[in-house]
Amino acid sequence: MDIRHPLDDRLPAMLRSGRTLRAIFNSLPSPAIVEMCAYAGFDFILIDNEHGSAGLDTTEHMLRAARASGIPPVVRCLRPDIARVLDMGASGVQIPMVQNAEEARDLVQQVRYPGIGRRGSAFSPRAAGYGAFPGAEHTRRSNEGIALIVMIETEEAAAQAAEIASVEGVDAVFIGPNDLSHSMGFGSDWKAPEVDRVIARALRDIAAAGTCAGIVGLTAEDEARYGAHGARFFATVASSVITRALREAAQPGTPTGGRPVY
């Protein structure tokens, strides 16, 4: 019998591929939305446990939904949750507010098993099939197949983008433009020229280090603008997409173009 491994290990290769990748943040505690994002054609999903309301039980169900529907799942989480979401079978973690290369190196240690890092080894959790896929092969698959994405969200961190991106074991560096803008005193205006210059320089530095550069990309114009500086990984936001669609549906007319939706 062909049993599907619970850990989807495609993501590091995708981030190294050089192609444009489109992901979506989902902060809503819903396995169904994870499946919908997969069927919509996103390359991977970012389960947002930094700003979302999902508990760990629901997060595990969202990871199951991702595996069942064929989309690699990353969990954006705080540092104390890294070990647990990886044991649940996340394909990667995205860690906010990484300030320098030293912090990035420490995160590599937390994400990788001994031989590379210091992640605690256990074969009973979901990532190892509850003991069905134990031992050295699970360690190898995890060390090679789990992605670490670090986030740059302050001007100080952006100035060290090249050093952060050069840390061995960091698979992608994602710029959080809204927090960056706030750190620079521009509030939510992350299109301000001063912020845009910092973003452009950081993206170029990340790309020059040979690491995948990511950023929020809400429109085709955003992708073109940041792609010109080396970004390859663009993320939109599920709640914003849903809210926009609901607003359109609430207007007079027939938003489905007369086609049945049931």
Q: How do residues 116-165 score in pLDDT, each as one tens digit?
A: 999 999 999 999 999 999 999 999 999 999 999 999 999 999 999 999 99
For 43-87, what is each residue's pLDDT tens digit? 999 999 999 999 999 999 999 999 999 999 999 999 999 999 999
Write the CA distances from 75 to 79, 142, 191, 204, 245, integer angstroms.
Answer: 11, 15, 27, 25, 25
Beta strands in 86-221 (DSSP E): 92-95, 147-152, 172-175, 212-216
CB 157 within 8 A of CB 98: yes
Supply the pTM of this predicted model: 0.94
Catalytic annotation, pick one of 51, 61, 138, 182: 51
Asked if 51 is an active-site residue, the reply is: yes
Q: Which H helix or E strand runs over 254? A: none
Span 224-232, average pLDDT:
97
Q: Which H helix or E strand runs over 144? A: helix 135-145
CB 113 within 8 A of CB 142: yes
Residue ranges of domains in the chain, CATH in brackets? 11-247 (3.20.20.60)
